[in-house]
């Protein structure tokens, strides 16, 4: 069972690499060498150059060994190479109970190093078993933490699989999310008129006043059971004795229903425009769609194979939804049905992030079983 010690050592090594979004070079070089040593044909695209980074997406293919009716459908596995801040100078600490956490001043990077290694070791378990397998494709992406930037520009004509598994979900191995939301950012800029607040306030047009009235009319938090809305930043004014002539607000909309997300954008624009017009100010509301909602059907092969693999291994096989985005949004947009698998990361995006040795083992076993179905 040497692989169980090896996966721990590889985890420690990958954690030690600085791999902030668009600067994933060390991780990518390690992966390129490992994939080639496993027999994959490997290529790196130009996504890094597109974004001004130093690394591209890595796409790897291992041809299947099955023939005829037994050939099976190709499968693609995906995880991302970047980590969030504070993610430089990471150090892992392995406790006696199998918990792995950071030294406390950075994230650990289990998001998504756990996913990367569970894919690699899952494939290796199949290769070591000597059992014939179907065609395997792997995509390791850049810039996922910045609204899936890497997978958004990947060339999906290279992918033959119609069945995807993205390892990027918090929680114990054996759970998978089959739906995720649209995520849209909004920006509202109110323009008024500056005037001295002590001598002639009546000659000014108070941009913050209009913005505040607009915000008071917006439904924050849960708009409904499928949709959330939040205004997260507000900036306006220059000094205390000048009527502010500008106020800029930014926010985010998430919804399992893309149509509802767009309706919330329209509502936001209408309310800001109305409140600005009441005091002869102007309002400009812009938005950007980062991710589009999807829901993978229960009858899809990715779902049925996942549940079958979990049954064989004695895992829960629970299906859920996530209100976060992942590279699976990009797969879905390109006609590839998939699931986001829990890969045993906990408290992600914080210095309290951790994983467990047991989750790493189970994640690899699950990937191996999915390949053999």
* Residue spans per domain, the chain: 2-180+294-372, 182-291
Cis peptide bond N-terminal to 295, omega within 30: no
Weakest mean pLDDT among 56-70, 95-109, 301-315, 330-344 = 56-70
Residue recorded with tokens 């699931």: 339
Structure tokens at 197: 């607040």
Residue recorded with tokens 């040795």: 357
Q: Does domain 2-180+294-372 bear CATH number 3.40.630.10?
A: yes
Catalytic residue among 111, 112, 118, 144: 144
- Burial (Cβ within 10 Å: 0-12, 13-18, ≥19) of residue 162: middle
Return the pLDDT at 9: 96
Q: Are strands 58-62 and 41-44 parallel, antiparallel or unpaired?
A: antiparallel
- Burial (Cβ within 10 Å: 0-12, 13-18, ≥19) of residue 284: middle
CA-to-CA distance for 321 and 296, rounded, in angstroms?
10
Structure tokens at 50: 């597109």
Is the Cβ–Cβ distance between 155 and 57 less than 8 Å? Answer: no
Q: What is the mean pLDDT of the chain?
A: 96
Is the Cα torsion angle 272, 273, 276, 281 positive or negative in sign? Answer: positive
Return the pLDDT at 73: 87
Mean pLDDT of 212-235: 96
CATH of 182-291, one of 3.30.70.1290, 3.40.50.300, 2.60.40.1930, 3.30.70.360: 3.30.70.360
- Residue 144 catalytic? yes
Return the pLDDT at 307: 97
Return the pLDDT at 66: 73
- Residue 82 catalytic? yes
Phi–psi pair at 272, nearest 5 degrees: -65, -40
pLDDT, tens digit, for every residue of 85-127?
999 999 999 999 999 999 999 999 999 999 999 999 999 999 9
**Secondary structure element (H or E) that encloses residue 121, with its range:** helix 110-129
CA distances from 29 to 65, 108, 140, 219, 243 (A): 27, 20, 12, 47, 55
Nearest residue to 103 via CA among 117, 118, 88, 119: 88
Question: SS3 for 167?
Answer: strand
Return the pLDDT at 149: 97
Question: SS3 for 238?
Answer: coil
CA-to-CA distance for 180 and 85, rounded, in angstroms?
24
CA-to-CA distance for 98 and 310, rounded, in angstroms?
22
Catalytic residue among 10, 44, 45, 82: 82
Phi–psi pair at 184, nearest 5 degrees: -130, 130
pLDDT, tens digit, for every residue of 11-38?
999 999 999 999 999 999 999 999 999 9
**In the predicted model, is pLDDT for residue 230 greater than 80?**
yes
DSSP state of 257: S
């Amino acid at each position: 069972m040497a692989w169980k010690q090896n996966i721990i050592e590889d985890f420690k090594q990958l954690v030690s690499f600085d791999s902030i979004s668009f600067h994933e070079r060390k991780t990518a070089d390690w992966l390129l060498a490992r994939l080639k040593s496993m027999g994959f044909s490997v290529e790196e695209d130009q996504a890094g150059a597109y974004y001004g980074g130093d690394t591209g997406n890595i796409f790897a293919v291992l041809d299947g060994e099955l023939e005829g009716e037994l050939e099976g459908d190709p499968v693609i596995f995906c995880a991302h190479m970047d980590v969030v801040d504070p993610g430089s100078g990471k150090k892992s600490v392995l406790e006696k109970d199998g918990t792995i956490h950071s030294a406390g001043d950075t994230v650990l990077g289990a998001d998504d190093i756990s996913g990367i290694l569970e894919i690699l070791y899952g494939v290796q378990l199949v290769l070591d078993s000597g059992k014939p397998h179907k065609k395997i494709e792997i995509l390791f992406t850049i810039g996922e933490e910045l609204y899936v930037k890497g997978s958004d520009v990947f060339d999906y004509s290279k992918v033959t699989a119609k069945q995807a598994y993205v390892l990027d979900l918090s929680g114990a191995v054996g759970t998978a999310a089959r739906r995720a939301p649209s995520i849209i950012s909004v920006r509202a800029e109110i323009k008024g008129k500056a005037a001295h607040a002590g001598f002639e306030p009546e000659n000014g047009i108070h941009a913050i006043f209009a913005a505040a009235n607009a915000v008071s009319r917006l439904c924050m938090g849960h708009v409904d059971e499928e949709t959330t809305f939040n205004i997260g930043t507000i900036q306006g004014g220059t000094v205390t004795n000048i009527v502010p002539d500008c106020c800029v607000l930014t926010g985010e909309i998430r919804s399992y229903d893309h149509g509802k997300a767009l309706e919330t954008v329209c509502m936001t624009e209408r309310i800001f425009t109305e409140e600005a017009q009441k005091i002869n100010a102007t309002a400009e509301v812009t938005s950007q769609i980062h991710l589009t909602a999807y829901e993978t059907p229960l009858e899809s092969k990715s779902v049925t194979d996942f549940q079958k693999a979990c049954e064989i291994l004695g895992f829960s096989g629970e299906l859920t939804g996530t209100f976060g985005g992942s590279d699976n949004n990009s797969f879905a947009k390109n006609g590839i049905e998939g699931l986001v698998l829990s890969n045993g990361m906990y408290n992600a995006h914080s210095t309290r992030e951790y994983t467990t040795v047991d989750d790493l083992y189970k994640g690899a076993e699950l990937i191996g079983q999915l390949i053999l179905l």
